[in-house]
Amino acid sequence: MALIKCPECGREISDKAPQCIFCGYPIALLSNEEQAKDDSSHFYKITLDKVPYSSFAHAVTCVTKITGKYMGESTDIVKSAPCQLISGLSYDTSVRIKKMFNAVNVDVSIMEDSDSKEPNEFIQNVILPSDLENQRIAEGLIKETDDRHDVIKCPRCGSTSISTGQRGYSVVTGFWGSGKTVNRCANCGYKWQPSYWTRNR
Protein backbone atom coordinates (compact mmCIF):
# COMPACT_ATOMS: atom_id res chain seq x y z
CA MET A 1 0.00 0.00 0.00
CA ALA A 2 1.28 3.47 -0.87
CA LEU A 3 0.14 6.94 0.02
CA ILE A 4 -0.93 9.28 -2.77
CA LYS A 5 -2.25 12.82 -2.80
CA CYS A 6 -5.90 13.35 -3.50
CA PRO A 7 -6.16 15.53 -6.62
CA GLU A 8 -9.18 17.31 -5.11
CA CYS A 9 -8.14 18.21 -1.55
CA GLY A 10 -4.39 17.43 -1.65
CA ARG A 11 -4.37 15.23 1.46
CA GLU A 12 -2.51 11.93 1.59
CA ILE A 13 -4.62 8.79 1.33
CA SER A 14 -4.14 5.13 0.49
CA ASP A 15 -3.86 4.28 -3.20
CA LYS A 16 -6.16 1.31 -2.53
CA ALA A 17 -9.01 3.47 -1.23
CA PRO A 18 -12.00 3.63 -3.63
CA GLN A 19 -12.54 7.28 -2.69
CA CYS A 20 -10.89 10.00 -0.62
CA ILE A 21 -11.85 9.69 3.06
CA PHE A 22 -11.67 13.46 3.45
CA CYS A 23 -13.54 14.86 0.43
CA GLY A 24 -15.05 11.79 -1.27
CA TYR A 25 -13.15 12.15 -4.57
CA PRO A 26 -13.35 8.85 -6.52
CA ILE A 27 -9.71 7.71 -6.45
CA ALA A 28 -10.52 4.53 -8.37
CA LEU A 29 -11.45 6.63 -11.40
CA LEU A 30 -8.03 8.26 -11.69
CA SER A 31 -6.81 7.90 -15.26
CA ASN A 32 -3.56 6.15 -16.10
CA GLU A 33 -2.09 9.52 -17.04
CA GLU A 34 -2.78 11.01 -13.61
CA GLN A 35 -1.27 7.98 -11.90
CA ALA A 36 1.81 8.26 -14.09
CA LYS A 37 2.33 11.84 -12.92
CA ASP A 38 2.86 10.63 -9.36
CA ASP A 39 5.11 7.75 -10.43
CA SER A 40 8.76 8.80 -10.10
CA SER A 41 9.89 5.99 -12.42
CA HIS A 42 8.20 7.68 -15.40
CA PHE A 43 10.20 10.24 -17.34
CA TYR A 44 9.17 12.83 -19.91
CA LYS A 45 10.87 14.80 -22.66
CA ILE A 46 10.30 18.22 -24.18
CA THR A 47 10.04 18.67 -27.94
CA LEU A 48 10.36 22.16 -29.43
CA ASP A 49 7.76 22.99 -32.08
CA LYS A 50 8.41 25.37 -34.97
CA VAL A 51 9.20 28.82 -33.58
CA PRO A 52 7.56 31.98 -34.97
CA TYR A 53 10.04 34.61 -36.17
CA SER A 54 8.84 37.16 -33.60
CA SER A 55 9.67 34.77 -30.73
CA PHE A 56 13.00 33.48 -32.06
CA ALA A 57 15.26 35.38 -29.64
CA HIS A 58 13.12 34.44 -26.63
CA ALA A 59 13.18 30.78 -27.70
CA VAL A 60 16.99 30.85 -27.88
CA THR A 61 17.14 32.29 -24.35
CA CYS A 62 14.82 29.58 -22.98
CA VAL A 63 16.74 26.77 -24.74
CA THR A 64 20.00 28.12 -23.32
CA LYS A 65 18.51 28.18 -19.83
CA ILE A 66 17.24 24.58 -19.76
CA THR A 67 20.09 22.94 -21.70
CA GLY A 68 23.12 24.93 -20.53
CA LYS A 69 24.38 25.27 -24.10
CA TYR A 70 26.04 28.35 -25.56
CA MET A 71 23.90 30.89 -27.42
CA GLY A 72 25.28 29.77 -30.79
CA GLU A 73 24.35 26.14 -30.14
CA SER A 74 20.92 27.16 -28.85
CA THR A 75 20.36 29.26 -31.97
CA ASP A 76 21.12 26.23 -34.17
CA ILE A 77 18.69 24.14 -32.12
CA VAL A 78 15.88 26.67 -32.53
CA LYS A 79 16.58 26.90 -36.27
CA SER A 80 16.27 23.11 -36.57
CA ALA A 81 12.87 22.96 -34.82
CA PRO A 82 10.82 20.85 -34.53
CA CYS A 83 13.33 18.86 -32.49
CA GLN A 84 13.84 17.27 -29.07
CA LEU A 85 15.22 19.62 -26.42
CA ILE A 86 15.65 17.76 -23.16
CA SER A 87 14.77 14.38 -21.67
CA GLY A 88 14.74 12.59 -18.32
CA LEU A 89 12.26 14.99 -16.74
CA SER A 90 9.62 14.57 -14.08
CA TYR A 91 6.09 15.49 -15.11
CA ASP A 92 6.04 18.58 -12.88
CA THR A 93 9.33 19.86 -14.33
CA SER A 94 8.04 19.24 -17.86
CA VAL A 95 4.93 21.31 -17.15
CA ARG A 96 6.98 24.17 -15.68
CA ILE A 97 9.27 24.20 -18.71
CA LYS A 98 6.25 24.23 -21.02
CA LYS A 99 4.79 27.21 -19.14
CA MET A 100 8.12 29.05 -19.42
CA PHE A 101 8.14 28.63 -23.21
CA ASN A 102 4.43 29.44 -23.56
CA ALA A 103 5.00 32.74 -21.72
CA VAL A 104 7.19 33.90 -24.63
CA ASN A 105 4.77 32.59 -27.27
CA VAL A 106 6.75 29.43 -28.08
CA ASP A 107 5.08 26.01 -28.22
CA VAL A 108 6.67 22.85 -26.86
CA SER A 109 5.23 19.36 -26.47
CA ILE A 110 5.51 17.02 -23.49
CA MET A 111 6.03 13.38 -24.45
CA GLU A 112 6.71 10.20 -22.52
CA ASP A 113 10.39 9.30 -22.42
CA SER A 114 10.93 5.56 -22.50
CA ASP A 115 14.68 5.85 -23.24
CA SER A 116 15.87 7.64 -20.10
CA LYS A 117 16.72 5.48 -17.10
CA GLU A 118 17.85 8.27 -14.77
CA PRO A 119 16.60 11.81 -14.15
CA ASN A 120 18.28 14.70 -15.94
CA GLU A 121 20.92 16.06 -13.55
CA PHE A 122 21.39 19.46 -15.19
CA ILE A 123 17.76 20.55 -14.98
CA GLN A 124 17.66 19.77 -11.26
CA ASN A 125 19.99 22.72 -10.64
CA VAL A 126 18.09 25.13 -12.91
CA ILE A 127 15.75 27.62 -11.24
CA LEU A 128 12.67 27.72 -13.44
CA PRO A 129 10.37 30.76 -13.34
CA SER A 130 7.22 30.58 -11.23
CA ASP A 131 3.72 30.92 -12.66
CA LEU A 132 3.64 34.55 -11.49
CA GLU A 133 6.96 35.32 -13.20
CA ASN A 134 5.72 33.68 -16.41
CA GLN A 135 2.57 35.77 -16.26
CA ARG A 136 4.57 38.98 -15.86
CA ILE A 137 6.84 38.03 -18.76
CA ALA A 138 3.84 37.33 -20.99
CA GLU A 139 2.16 40.62 -20.01
CA GLY A 140 5.40 42.52 -20.62
CA LEU A 141 5.72 41.08 -24.13
CA ILE A 142 2.11 41.99 -24.93
CA LYS A 143 2.70 45.56 -23.73
CA GLU A 144 5.94 45.74 -25.70
CA THR A 145 4.09 44.60 -28.84
CA ASP A 146 1.34 47.17 -28.28
CA ASP A 147 3.91 49.94 -27.86
CA ARG A 148 5.40 49.11 -31.24
CA HIS A 149 2.19 49.94 -33.07
CA ASP A 150 2.17 53.18 -35.02
CA VAL A 151 0.13 55.06 -32.44
CA ILE A 152 1.14 58.68 -31.92
CA LYS A 153 1.21 59.69 -28.26
CA CYS A 154 1.65 63.08 -26.69
CA PRO A 155 5.19 63.33 -25.25
CA ARG A 156 3.87 65.44 -22.38
CA CYS A 157 0.73 63.64 -21.14
CA GLY A 158 0.74 60.35 -23.12
CA SER A 159 -2.68 60.95 -24.67
CA THR A 160 -3.48 59.40 -28.04
CA SER A 161 -5.98 62.17 -28.95
CA ILE A 162 -3.66 63.79 -31.46
CA SER A 163 -4.51 65.88 -34.51
CA THR A 164 -1.99 66.66 -37.23
CA GLY A 165 -2.09 69.75 -39.44
CA GLN A 166 -0.24 72.82 -40.59
CA ARG A 167 1.14 75.18 -37.99
CA GLY A 168 -0.63 78.23 -39.43
CA TYR A 169 -0.12 81.90 -38.60
CA SER A 170 1.94 82.73 -35.51
CA VAL A 171 2.12 86.07 -33.67
CA VAL A 172 5.88 85.66 -33.27
CA THR A 173 6.88 84.45 -36.77
CA GLY A 174 3.87 85.52 -38.79
CA PHE A 175 3.39 83.42 -41.91
CA TRP A 176 7.01 82.28 -41.93
CA GLY A 177 6.95 78.48 -41.49
CA SER A 178 3.14 78.42 -41.46
CA GLY A 179 3.10 75.45 -43.84
CA LYS A 180 5.06 73.18 -41.46
CA THR A 181 3.28 70.11 -40.11
CA VAL A 182 2.69 69.96 -36.37
CA ASN A 183 0.95 67.57 -33.99
CA ARG A 184 -1.53 68.95 -31.47
CA CYS A 185 -2.65 67.15 -28.32
CA ALA A 186 -6.38 67.53 -27.71
CA ASN A 187 -5.88 66.68 -24.05
CA CYS A 188 -3.22 69.15 -22.90
CA GLY A 189 -2.79 71.38 -25.96
CA TYR A 190 0.91 70.60 -26.42
CA LYS A 191 2.28 71.11 -29.96
CA TRP A 192 5.32 69.47 -31.50
CA GLN A 193 6.79 68.81 -34.91
CA PRO A 194 6.71 65.18 -36.12
CA SER A 195 10.06 63.47 -36.48
CA TYR A 196 11.62 62.90 -39.88
CA TRP A 197 10.84 59.17 -39.76
CA THR A 198 7.21 59.81 -38.84
CA ARG A 199 6.75 62.26 -41.69
CA ASN A 200 8.41 60.05 -44.31
CA ARG A 201 7.32 56.50 -43.57
pLDDT in tens, 150-196: 567 777 777 777 887 775 555 555 555 556 778 888 878 888 777 64
CATH of 32-146, one of 3.10.129.10, 3.30.590.20, 2.30.30.60, 3.30.1390.10: 3.30.1390.10
* Per-residue pLDDT at 87: 92
Domain spans in the chain, listed from the N-terminal domain onward:
1-30, 32-146, 162-199
Interatomic CA distance for residues 145 and 126, integer angstroms: 29
Q: Does the structure show a pLDDT above 90 at 97? A: yes
User: Would you state the pLDDT for residue 176?
Assistant: 54
Among the residue ranges 81-95, 108-122, 129-143, 177-191, the one predicted with the least confidence is 177-191
Please give the single-letter amino acid code of residue 119. P
The answer to whether residues 159 and 190 touch, using CB atoms and an 8 Å cutoff, is no
Confidence of residue 30 (pLDDT cuts 50, 70, 90): low
Give all strands of the β-sheet with 83-89 in edge-to-edge order. 83-89, 43-48, 108-113
For residues 16-33, average pLDDT: 70
For residue 67, give Cα distances in angstroms to 64, 73, 86, 184.
5, 10, 7, 52
SS3 (DSSP) at 17: coil
Quick one: three-class SS letters along 148-193?
Answer: HCCCCCCCCCCCCCEEEEECCCECCCECCCCCCEEEEECCCCCEEC
pLDDT at 32: 45
Q: What is the pTM of this model?
A: 0.54
